[in-house]
């Protein structure tokens, strides 16, 4: 048996010890302390209200704020934070302007690494005059991420007696110009279904076309009724006929019904609905009378049809018809606190919340239709009881938001907005 090694007294207490034992004791002590600290930290993290960390608009570590700002600028995003109530904006170049039908121009807007979108989405287009209009995206979603030139495509029909937005888009926007857009946003998403019936009227084909492409790509059975004043006025008709497989008179006739009203008269919507498979999803976009007719006929169709529509004009029974954005005659004044801005504005009777805020606190606050159907002015409510007067928001959205162009506080209440 080997003799024990005597350790010099300078290494600690004397006596017969094994070599390296003091170092082992130190290691165990440090490891034990680290274990205790680690467990304490885990308990702290589990209890802490800061865990998980709240989402931040910009990272505060990692790339850092400045790197994030540079990256946002490189992507065409505004480097500065958008003003309260103003969604982030993109500045895009008009790469192409094409007449795609009588009175309809398609605009291809180019940028870099654009946000992705799905069929049914639209953009807010800020026209040079500052007017904001909504247009459905009608190109291919994959175009938004193309390495050789990311782009969005939208189409604008000239409305002679409209509010001027379509005329400005037609007469002012040219290839090479830069425009600001916000979005994309999607209030008309294509939900999974075993079969689709699409009904489009005129420019209403724009949100429907990407839906048809997607249904075709996924092998989901679809039919489309596409109506317009004349064939020459119907954008993307050739593509629709190609998707259907050879034109309305050819093999695609079973899937596609083209109704040019100058030749064929009105579409037979009752027949189209009667032929729809049970429990199919019906997607309809176009003039109000077309959408109203489909909604009226739906109960007579096969079982379980579900209707999805997107409106770009107020309903006949909506707030505009019931007195307009400035409200009903028995409205009273109330106060609106803008929590982030730190201001409180008074909304007089006969004035919308939107107008009061723009006049008294935030002149650049985004809006468009002022009639409760576009969604541009939607704001988050932090407190107060809302008298909702729109036909757009879902029940879930109404739980914490309102459209400030038409909706007000309930009598006796004020509102606190996240603005």
The binding site for ligand FES (CB under 6 A) comprises 367-370, 372-377, 403, 405
**Shortest separation between residue 372's beta carbon and ligand FES, angstroms:** 5
Angle between helices 237-244 and 205-218 in degrees, nearest 10:
20
Shortest distance in whole angstroms from residue 392 CB to ligand FES: 7
CB distance 123 to 193 below 8 Å: no
CB nearer to ligand FES: give 108 or 187.
Answer: 187
256 vs 403, beta carbon nearer ligand FES:
403
Minimum CB distance to ligand FES, residue 375 (Å): 5
Q: What are phi and psi of 321, to 5 degrees?
A: -70, -25
Taking the least distance from each CB to ligand FES, the nearer of 208 and 354 is 354
Rounded Cα distance between 127 and 107, Å, is 13
Phi and psi angles of residue 399, each rounded to the nearest 5 degrees, phi first: -60, -35
Which pairs count as long-range contacts for 211-218, CB under 8 Å and 24+ apart, including other chains? 211/119, 211/120, 211/283, 212/240, 212/243, 213/119, 213/140, 213/243, 214/119, 214/190, 215/190, 216/243
Nearer to ligand FES, 283 or 367 (CB): 367
Peptide bond into 98 cis (omega under 30): no
How far apart, in whole angstroms, are the C-alpha atoms of residue 95 and residue 124? 18
Letter string b/e over residues 223-233, b meaning 16 or more CB atoms within 10 A of that residue's CB = bbbbbbeebeb
User: Residue for token digits 């990692």?
Assistant: 62
Between residues 125 and 374, which has the closer beta carbon with respect to ligand FES?
A: 374
Q: Which of 407, 409, 403 is nearest to 375 (CA)?
A: 403
Q: Is residue 176 exposed (0-12), middle (13-18) or buried (19+ Cβ within 10 Å)? A: exposed
Rounded to the nearest 5 degrees, what angle is found at the Cα of 327, between the Cα atoms of 373 and 83? 60
Min dist CB 67 to ligand FES, Å, is: 35
Q: Which of 100/404 has CB closer to ligand FES? A: 404
Q: Which is nearer to ligand FES, 187 or 213 (CB)?
A: 187
Shortest gap between Cβ of 378 and ligand FES (angstroms)?
Answer: 7
**Pick 308 or 358: Cβ nearer ligand FES:** 358
Which of 170, 86, 169 lies closest to 131, judged by CA?
169
Least separation, in Å, of the C-beta of 354 and ligand FES? 7
Q: Find the shortest distance in angstroms from Cβ 200 to ligand FES.
A: 23
Cβ of residue 367: shortest distance to ligand FES, in angstroms? Answer: 4
Which residues, other chains included, contact 130 with Cβ-Cβ below 8 Å and sequence gap of 6+? none
């Amino acid at each position: 048996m080997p003799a024990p090694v005597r350790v010099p007294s300078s290494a600690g207490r004397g006596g017969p010890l094994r070599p390296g034992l003091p170092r082992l004791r130190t290691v165990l002590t440090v490891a034990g302390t680290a274990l205790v600290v680690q467990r304490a930290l885990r308990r702290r993290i589990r209890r802490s209200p800061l865990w998980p960390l709240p989402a931040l608009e910009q990272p505060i570590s990692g790339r850092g704020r400045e790197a994030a700002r540079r990256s946002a600028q490189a992507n065409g995003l505004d480097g500065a934070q958008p003003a309260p109530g103003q969604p982030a904006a993109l500045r895009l170049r008009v790469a192409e302007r094409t007449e795609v039908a009588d009175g309809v121009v398609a605009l291809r807007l180019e940028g870099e690494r654009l946000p992705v979108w799905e069929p049914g989405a639209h953009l807010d287009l800020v026209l040079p005059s500052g007017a904001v209009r909504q247009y459905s995206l009608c190109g291919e979603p994959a175009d938004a991420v193309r390495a050789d030139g990311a782009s969005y495509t939208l189409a604008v029909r000239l409305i002679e007696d409209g509010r001027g937005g379509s005329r400005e888009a037609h007469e002012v926007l040219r290839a090479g110009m830069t425009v600001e857009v916000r979005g994309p946003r999607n209030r008309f998403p294509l939900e999974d279904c075993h079969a689709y019936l699409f009904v489009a009227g005129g420019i209403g084909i724009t949100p429907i076309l990407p839906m048809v492409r997607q249904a075709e790509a996924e092998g989901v059975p679809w039919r489309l009724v596409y109506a317009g004043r004349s064939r020459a006025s119907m954008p993307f008709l050739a593509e629709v006929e190609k998707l259907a497989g050879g034109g309305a008179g050819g093999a695609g006739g079973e899937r596609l019904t083209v109704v040019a009203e100058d030749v064929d008269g009105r579409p037979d919507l009752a027949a189209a609905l009667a032929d729809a498979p049970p429990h199919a999803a019906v997607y309809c976009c176009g003039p109000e009378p077309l959408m109203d007719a489909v909604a009226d006929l739906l109960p007579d169709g096969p079982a379980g049809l579900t209707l999805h529509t997107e409106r770009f004009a107020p309903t006949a029974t909506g707030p505009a018809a019931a007195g307009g954005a400035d409200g009903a005659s028995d409205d009273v004044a109330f106060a609106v606190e803008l929590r982030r801005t730190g201001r409180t504005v008074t909304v007089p009777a006969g004035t919308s919340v939107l107008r009061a805020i723009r006049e008294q606190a935030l002149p650049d606050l985004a809006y468009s239709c002022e009639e409760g159907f576009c969604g541009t002015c939607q704001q988050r409510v932090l407190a107060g009881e809302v008298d909702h007067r729109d036909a757009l928001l879902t029940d879930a959205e109404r739980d914490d938001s309102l459209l400030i162009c038409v909706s007000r506080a309930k009598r006796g209440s004020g509102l606190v907005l996240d603005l």
